[in-house]
Structure 1
Amino acid sequence: MSRLFGSVRARATLGATLVVAVALVAAGAAVLLSLRSNLLGEAGTQAERSAREVATELAVGTPYADLSLDVDDRPVQVVDEDGTLVAASEDLERITGTGVETVKPRPAASPDGTGDAGDAGDTDDADDDDDAGEPLEAGEIGERTTVSDGSATIDGDTEDYRFAAVPVKTEDRGRLTVYAGAPLSAEHGAVNTALTVMLIGFPVLLAVVGWVTWLVTRRALRPVEGIRREMAAITASEDLARRVPVPGTHDEVARLASTTNETLAALETSVERQRRFVADASHELRSPIASLRTQLEVAAAHPELLDLDGAVEDTVRLQHLAADLLLLARLDAGERPADARVDLAALAREEAGGRPGVSVREDTGAAGGVTVAGSRGQLGRVLANLLDNAQRHARSAVEVSVRRDGDLAVVGVADDGEGVSAADRERIFERFVRLDAARSRDDGGAGLGLAIARDVAVRHGGTLTVHDAPAGGALFELRLPAA
């Protein structure tokens, strides 16, 4: 059960069904209340019409015996101002709701000798008060109608009725009140029929809504299931070259599939880059380690042949390579640079100091100097790597320029060497890449310097590019947001 309702499809179906159920119950209740109110109002109107017909007869002096009390077999009572029943429907056997439960008037002489009188049962004091509060002239029928609900038994049939009470003033019999009832069987029947239809129709409608929602969500989520299966297959096979299917619906699912494929592509590139990095690092480490081991083995067998200088050089190479690999690992892990203020002009002079043939040219017009926010150690490493690369390729001179360009701080390192061809200007920033394959590793390094420089520049929110230098060599430009 928990697995079933743990699916989006089941939750969507259940949610839609519940929403429709609440809406149907609310609408059904409103319909029933409105229907009952309308039917009760109609019954009240019919009861008032019957009561006013009898009141009209009384107003013109019609004797009690000649009143139209048995029309449509509806209960009618006529009560005097003392609460005495003076006339009633002939077949009336029982009545409630009018305040006068007596159904047979007792014969008694009326003022004109034509009417009947009798003892009345309990009276509705509220109605009497209301009627007494409306002054009437002889022969006048009251405008105010009092409505109440009750029941009556006529000729053995008991039904619920809505009663209307209408006051009337006669010349010889004083103030009278006519109670007439209209049956509520139509109201009960209509309400019960509507309720039965709702009790039968609502579950069927909810079942249809749930079934349609289930089918629609299955169709809508079918591409998601395809994405899930393909991702599971990719995980099992570890084949990052595979891609999930992208539906042609141009909706959220299609965008999800496109984003998933972009993530897979980035992951594939990252894994491939990592594999290549590990392979290149292993290859680069193998050479100095093998050389150092050979020298140590020779020294162990023949101490007089120990090449101490070579062993130290191989050890230094290993140290530098390990430091480069560690820095690249930290950069790949997303290490954020420090937020210190670094004066690039001072840093350039510091890195260029002691290097033969290297000059520094500063933009003295920059207000406040050329300052950036970042790690002084990492930015110093960038300048050192660029200067090492420039000195390896320069014929005679290397120039470092520091200037402001709008909101950017620009450091340029130019040499007068052969430059870099347009086809190789991006490739040289790849790891373990050396354009001159014939150059020895001792002279050319491991091919990590420029890769480290660009990674550090990117981590500091800047760029590192290469162009043609004015002197004909290569010009490396480091652009960073100025502090």
Structure 2
Amino acid sequence: MSRLFGSVRSRATLGATLVVAVALVAAGAAVLLSLRANLTGEAGTRAERSAQAVASELAARTPLDKLSGLDAEDTPVQIVDDDGVLLAASEDLERISGTGTAEVTPAPARSGAGAGRDEDGDDDASDDDRDDDRDDDSLAPGEIAQGASYTNGTATVDGDTEDYRFAAVEVETPDRGRLTVHAGAPLAAEHSAVGTALTSMLIGFPLLLGVVAAVTWLVTGRALRPVEGIRREMAAITASEDLRRRVPEPATHDEIARLARTTNATLAALESSVERQRRFVADASHELRSPIASLRTQLEVAAAHPELLDLDGAVEDTVRLQNLAADLLLLARLDAGERPAGTRVDLAALAREEAAGRESVTVDAEPVEVSGSRGQLGRVLANLLDNAQRHARERITVSVRREGDQAVVGVADDGEGVADADRERIFERFVRLDAARSRDDGGAGLGLAIARDVVARHGGTLTAGAAPAGGALFELRLPLAGADRGTPPA
């Protein structure tokens, strides 16, 4: 069960079905209540008309045994006086409830046509006496009360028992005083209509819910089909470890298509990262092999012929190996996301310090402070100066200035410069543009790569361009101390 409802498709189908079910139940209940209220109201209106008709006859002094309203087969009628005594009732009325009195047989003393009159045939009380006894809000003789009161009940007429809607209408008769007429209208039509509607809902609602569930299941399945394709392809990529493969991208412009494009972009970035890592490991192994092999050769020759030991060469290879190991360690720390320290560094003082002892280097700097690691920023300037010295003819210029909220450091030489096509490539690891240059003279090709990575970790940029003297210009930009740093790239 947990696996069945663990999928998005199942949950979407269940949720849609539940929402529609709740809406159908609420709508069905409202329809049934409205239908019942309307039919009950119609029955009440019919009962009121019947009661009004009987009341009109009573107001016209019609004798009780001459009332036409008592002969209706489907309309039980009761006539009750102010004391609750039943004066008249419909023929064949056997049992009744809901009208205030359950009597169905009129009282004998009041059942005659001359009831309420004295021996002379006059009324028991004069009109003046009745007027004196009547309250201010009483009805005038022969007047029928406006409106009626309604109740529900049952009645048995000629052996048939049904539910009725009863209406009670008061009338002030000239000869019998205040009477109340109870008349009923059957509720069989209301029960039948409500029952039919309820039966239709009980049959139709499950069918409708089944249709909603099936349509939702099909629609969500069709919508999620690309997701399943993406999942299968990702599983295949994981199993094969082939990062060149890509997930299928739907032709739509919805969230799933954007997910597929984002997934492919992630795979491309991962493939590029893995490829750089592999190339880095291969290049590092190759670069380490050369000094190690040279050092081993010299030691083996020295072991066999001590007089042939090239001590200076061995020391040089050892230093080169040490520097290369230090560069690789720094790159590994930068790739791991190491953050620089937050100390204040005066770039002008740092530039003069790194330029000291170097020939043909001119420093033109104003005091500018940035926040970061003094050691790492010194390494950046040293690498840029080393690169400039390898390519300069006569002069190297270092400038430090402030531009807005940034500190700008420029290292320019008067060499041949860098071609436009190579100005980004030179910052890649183990890249040396001069293929004929020996490794001893040119290094392993990590200096500029390290410089850019360090600058990026400090929230700055390092670019290559053309110097005014015609050589290369490397421009370093860092946020001033206290300014917001940009987000360093991963």
Are residue 395 (structure 1) and residue 393 (structure 2) matched?
yes
Counterpart secondary structure, 1:235 = helix
Are residue 376 (structure 1) and residue 374 (structure 2) matched?
yes
| Structure 1 residue 318 displacement after superposition | 1.8
Contact 2:233-2:247 within 8 A present in 1 as well: yes
Partner of 1:125: none
TM-score computed with the length of structure 1 as normaliser: 0.92
Counterpart secondary structure, 1:83 = coil
What pairs with 1:85-164 in structure 2 (closer than 5 Å)?
A: 85-108=86-109, 113=114, 135-164=138-167
Partner of 2:130: none
Partner of 1:323: 326
| Structure 1 residue 240 displacement after superposition | 1.2
Counterpart secondary structure, 1:192 = helix
| Structure 1 residue 278 displacement after superposition | 0.3
Are residue 207 (structure 1) and residue 210 (structure 2) matched?
yes
Contact 1:167-1:176 within 8 A present in 2 as well: yes
What pairs with 1:36-435 in structure 2 (closer than 5 Å)?
A: 36-68=36-68, 69-108=70-109, 113=114, 135-363=138-366, 369-435=367-433
Contact 1:134-1:142 within 8 A present in 2 as well: no
Counterpart secondary structure, 1:380 = helix
| Structure 1 residue 436 displacement after superposition | 1.7
User: Distance between the aligned counterparts of 2:394 and 2:49, measured in 1?
Assistant: 122
| Structure 1 residue 300 displacement after superposition | 3.8
Structure 1 residues 186-208: Cα deviation after superposition (integer angstroms, max 9, x where no partner) = 11111111111111000000000
User: Distance between the aligned counterparts of 2:421 and 2:446, measured in 1?
Assistant: 19
| Structure 1 residue 161 displacement after superposition | 0.7
Among 457, 460, 481, the alignment partner of 2:458 is 460
Structure 2 unpaired stretches of 5+: 118-133, 482-490
Partner of 1:119: none
| Structure 1 residue 355 displacement after superposition | 1.6
User: Distance between the aligned counterparts of 2:85 and 2:214, measured in 1?
Assistant: 66
Amino acid at match of 1:270: S
Amino acid at match of 1:229: R
Shift of the 238–207 alpha-carbon distance from structure 1 to 2, 3 Å rule, reads: same
- Count of matched residue positions in the alignment of Structure 1 and Structure 2: 464
Structure 1 residues 401-452: Cα deviation after superposition (integer angstroms, max 9, x where no partner) = 0112233211111112222222222221111111122222222111100011
Partner of 1:121: none
Counterpart secondary structure, 1:160 = strand
Partner of 1:444: 442
Structure 1 residues 161-192: Cα deviation after superposition (integer angstroms, max 9, x where no partner) = 11111111112211111000111111111111
User: Distance between the aligned counterparts of 2:110 and 2:254, measured in 1?
Assistant: 92
| Structure 1 residue 308 displacement after superposition | 3.1
User: Distance between the aligned counterparts of 1:111 and 1:210, measured in 2?
Assistant: 71
Counterpart secondary structure, 2:397 = strand
Amino acid at match of 2:106: P
Structure 1 residues 343-390: Cα deviation after superposition (integer angstroms, max 9, x where no partner) = 211111111112222121024xxxxx4222222222111111001111
Shift of the 133–359 alpha-carbon distance from structure 1 to 2, 3 Å rule, reads: farther
| Structure 1 residue 333 displacement after superposition | 2.0
Amino acid at match of 1:161: Y
| Structure 1 residue 107 displacement after superposition | 2.3
Contact 1:63-1:114 within 8 A present in 2 as well: no
CA RMSD across the alignment: 1.9
User: Distance between the aligned counterparts of 1:194 and 1:153, measured in 2?
Assistant: 27
User: Distance between the aligned counterparts of 1:112 and 1:13, measured in 2?
Assistant: 75
Structure 1 residues 208-235: Cα deviation after superposition (integer angstroms, max 9, x where no partner) = 0010111111111111111111112211
Partner of 2:129: none
Structure 1 residues 302-331: Cα deviation after superposition (integer angstroms, max 9, x where no partner) = 444443333322222222111111111122
Q: Identity of paired residues, percent?
A: 80
User: Distance between the aligned counterparts of 1:400 and 1:110, measured in 2?
Assistant: 131
TM-score computed with the length of structure 2 as normaliser: 0.91
